[in-house]
Amino acid sequence: MISWDRWAILKQVGIMHKIALSDAKLHEFLHMIDVSVKKFRELITDLATIARVEGDMIILEKVDLDETIDNIEWSLENVIQASGAVIIRNLEVNQVLFSKKNLRSIVYNLISNAVKFKREESPVIYISTQTDNDHIVLSVRDNGRGIRKGGIDKIFEMYGRLSHDVDGQGIGLYLAKKIVNATGGNIVVESEPGIGTTFSIYLRIEAENSAVTPVLN
């Protein structure tokens, strides 16, 4: 059985036979096919990721934030060095109850975005934690481009993107908010164009009473 994307390619190839090889539009047509196939594959990958998040469940566990950030810095070592990024920590609370894999994915996404959406100067990323009533607040603040007024809500949409000169479909922040909200927490964003952005993740202290949370691979 031929998959949908292969069927689409074969259909378009059939059209190509009607175009003379000397036709100047042939190269443009081939480029359109390539772009269409890539977008379709990205869509399938994103939908599969969402399905795993909604379908898989895991027991919450104690997460060491220093260890998590160390691992992220190691994974992004080349990107951090190339951009000259500096990561500063001020962790009043070092352990939180959450999914280790999910929390790593969320913080990884925020640090990666802070580097991608940098201004001309090197990125400076501040990561801090503090207790706020019945929540532990994990904040990631940067000195990047910032987000224009009215754009903050869009970054949490499934395909919300504020800049088209940066790779990615924006699926990360959509899933991040979905995961945090599922545990009774919240993500708050404060931003000013040309100054930077702060993501504050509110994690419930009594989260251990929650049975499960979705998994993000």
pLDDT tens, residue by residue, 172-182: 788 888 888 88
Residue type at position 69: I
18-64 pLDDT per residue, tens: 555 556 666 776 767 777 777 666 656 655 665 555 544 456 789 99
Task: Let me know whether 27 and 131 are in one domain.
Answer: no
DSSP for residue 184 = T
What pLDDT was estimated at residue 24? Answer: 62
At residue 56, φ and ψ (nearest 5 deg) are -85, 145
Task: Let me know whether 199 and 138 are in one domain.
Answer: yes
What 3-state class would DSSP assign to 48? helix
What 3-state class would DSSP assign to 112? helix
What 3-state class would DSSP assign to 12? helix
Please give the structure tokens belonging to residue 55.
Answer: 């379908």
Task: Let me know whether 138 and 179 are in one domain.
Answer: yes
Confidence of residue 166 (pLDDT cuts 50, 70, 90): very low
Strand partners, 141: 126, 198
What pLDDT was estimated at residue 68? Answer: 95
Number of domains the chain is built from: 2
Task: Let me know whether 138 and 39 are in one domain.
Answer: no
Please give the structure tokens belonging to residue 179.
Answer: 């995961």
Domain that holds residue 15: 4-55
What pLDDT was estimated at residue 26? Answer: 66
